[in-house]
Amino acid sequence: MKKKLKLGVLVSGNGSNLEAILKACQKPSFPARVVVVISNNPEAFALQRARKYGIPTVVVAKNNEAEILAALKKSKVDLVCLAGFMKMLSAGFIKKYRHRIINIHPSLLPSFPGLHAQRQALEHGVKITGATVHFVDAGCDTGPIILQGAVPVLENDTLEKLKRRILKVEHKIYIEGLKVIGRRVIKTGRKK
């Protein structure tokens, strides 16, 4: 079997990005596979999605980074994917997985970082917004950008409609971002 990047996905809620990743991982040519899904919310629907795909799940107590780190280590995770994980990771955590944590954010960063990015875009009156896949650093949505996708804001848009339109693009670019990283890492690995 080809070597694949081992992903640990951190979630807190619905998990539609997780599902997009899990679907992509079913393709033999996809350069990554999910080895563990970790949630800081026992009620997260994302956990049900993971179980449907037979992926091991871990529920950690809120804010317990030691438990998260232990679960990542146990599953020998290469890359941590934040997918609707509603907690800022500490600088110490990020240092341990330096350049190995990525996130999806529902705006064209550096515009509208932080919470409620879609609402911020609507309230600001921008005509184009979108989604960003980026590496995570110690700041709030400030890490190096990997990929972006643009989404129009339509006249009479509601928050819900805009969120849905952005989510579709999130699912697409998260997969594209993983392909870029996965192929690069595996290629680098082979040179050794």
Query: Which residues are known to be catalytic?
Result: 105
Residue 170 contacts ligand GRF per CB under 6 A: yes
E strands in the chain: 5-11, 32-39, 57-59, 79-82, 101-105, 128-135, 145-152
Residue 104 contacts ligand GRF per CB under 6 A: yes
Closer CB to ligand GRF, residue 72 or residue 136?
136
Residue 17 contacts ligand GRF per CB under 6 A: yes
CB of 20 to ligand GRF, least distance (A): 8
Residue 105 contacts ligand GRF per CB under 6 A: yes
- Identify the residue among 15, 143, 149, 182 touching ligand GRF (CB under 6 A): 15
C-alpha 62/C-alpha 20 separation (Å) is: 25
C-alpha 19/C-alpha 34 separation (Å) is: 11
Q: Select from 12-20, 22-30, 32-40, 138-146 the region that touches ligand GRF (CB under 6 A).
A: 12-20
Phi, psi angle pair for 97, to nearest 5°: -115, 45
Can you tell me whether residue 150 is helix, strand or coil?
Answer: strand
Residue 130 contacts ligand GRF per CB under 6 A: no
- Identify the residue among 8, 31, 106, 149 touching ligand GRF (CB under 6 A): 106
DSSP string, 41-83: -TT-HHHHHHHHTT--EEE--TT-HHHHHHHHHHTT-SEEEES
Residues forming the site for ligand GRF (CB under 6 A):
13-17, 83-84, 104-106, 167, 170
